[in-house]
Chain A
Amino acid sequence: MTGQMRQQWLHGFLDLSLLALLADRRDYGLGLVERMSAAGFDEVPGGTLYPSLLRLEKQGLVRTEWEPSTSGPRRKYYELTAEGHRAAIERTQGWEDFRSTMDAVTAFTRAPIGEQLS
């Protein structure tokens, strides 16, 4: 139940999460999955991640570059465009507004911090 819910939520916020991670530094697909996991999300399946990256690319927010590797196969890197940096900031603002609205709506059902542990 909770797992499914988290997955649905992540679906709605995946684009923003990727924009934010890429705003920090450019990365390749698997690197993004690892950073998402390190942040505490469940592992993002490739069938969800890559379409999201493709969408950002089609929207002109992300550009890609293939880089040859000395050891293994070539690697595709994703990087924000100037437009992508603007979108990352704008959407983060949107998320913050949404989060405070959500906090206000759930204020009544939120347990005080001391009680959450018991």
Chain B
Amino acid sequence: MTSPHEWGARLTEHLTDAGIDAREAHRLAADSLAEAEDAGQDPAALYGPAVTYASTIAHTIRAATVGFAPLGRVRGPVVLRLSQVTKRYRRRTVLRGVDLTLCGGEVAAVVGANGSGKSTLLNICAGVTRATGGTVERSPRVGYAPQQHGVAPLLTAAEHFHLFGAVHGMSGRESEAIGAQLSQQLGWRPRPHVIAAHLSGGTQQKLNVVLSELSRPDLILLDEPYQGFDQDSYIDFWDQVYKWRDAGAGVLVVTHLLHDLERVDHLVELPRVDES
């Protein structure tokens, strides 16, 4: 049996984990406890388990803020332009004539069946893979978070921040501070001395995303995590995408899951690759 005090402490903790500001989390927990006391009920009986309730109200708060975001978005300059991009591996055509113009302040989603070349397209946008035909123009400040091989298993989060910050000429202290701040926005507080291999899959993906944003890029290329960051806070990933968009970045997301794509500006649907 959880005591009301313990339930409140858990609620605060889970809310903070879900990215709710610590002061607001405390206030929400205190209010919930007081309302339960007034109702003469145990908080666990009134609201359900702290972890579930935290995820519900975190979602409520985010949805309320996202829904009321300013409507008049500013579209920036073009950050990515693909013209008739083609990719062939020997005789097998993986991508055929892909076109896309993505501006700052816009989101593009790439959808398609497994093996339709989604990751190949992401790699071509990042400049990691060469296109066989067509042209790719992109902004020089690119953040890139692939689904795999994005993190070094034996380095800690702070070491990753140092390493990636150095590439952009940031000091160690600076990159660590920005890395910690970005992590917190994703509801994650990296612990010192924990190497990436020991992080959960969702947390590794958070690290990956933080690294892609470390240099404040104006083009962000992402592979959507299969499970979201945390199993029950799937919405966090897309909330973050729209925050970057509203901050002026162009975001390209490879998405594997079917969901509400109404809010994206561009949809790139890749047809199934002919196996012939």
Contact = CB atoms under 8 A, between A and B. Distances in A.
Contacts of A46: 36, 39, 41, 46-48
Closest 8 pairs (CB-CB, A-B): A58-B64, A46-B46, A47-B48, A73-B37, A51-B60, A30-B39, A73-B38, A55-B60
B261 interface: no
Given A29-B35, A54-B60, A58-B61, 9 more contacts: A51-B57, A54-B57, A55-B60, A55-B63, A58-B64, A59-B67, A69-B38, A73-B34, A76-B34
Given A58-B65, A59-B64, A51 B38 contact: no
Say which size band chain A's interface belongs to. 10 to 19
Contacts of B46: 46-47
B32 interface: yes
Interface size class of B (residues with CB under 8 A): 20 to 34
A99 interface: no
A29 B41 CA distance: 12
Contact of B47 (A47, A55, A59, A73): A47
Contacts of A74: 34, 38
Contact of A76 (B38, B56, B67): B38
A35 interface: no
Interface centre among A30, A45, A58, A76 (most CB of B within 10 A): A58
16 contacts: A46-B36, A46-B47, A47-B47, A47-B52, A50-B32, A51-B56, A51-B57, A55-B60, A58-B64, A59-B67, A69-B38, A72-B38, A73-B34, A74-B38, A76-B34, A76-B38
Interface of A: 28-30, 45-47, 50-51, 54-55, 58-59, 66, 69, 72-76
Interface of B: 28, 31-32, 34-39, 41, 46-48, 52-53, 56-57, 60-61, 63-65, 67-68
Contacts of B60: 51, 54-55, 58
Contacts of B61: 54, 58
Nearest to A57: B64
A5 to B, nearest CB: 21
Contacts of A54: 28, 57, 60-61
Nearest to A56: B64
Given A55-B64, A59-B64, A76-B31, A47 B56 contact: yes
Contacts of A50: 32, 35, 47, 57
Contacts of A72: 38
B64 to A, nearest CB: 4
B62 to A, nearest CB: 10
A91 to B, nearest CB: 15
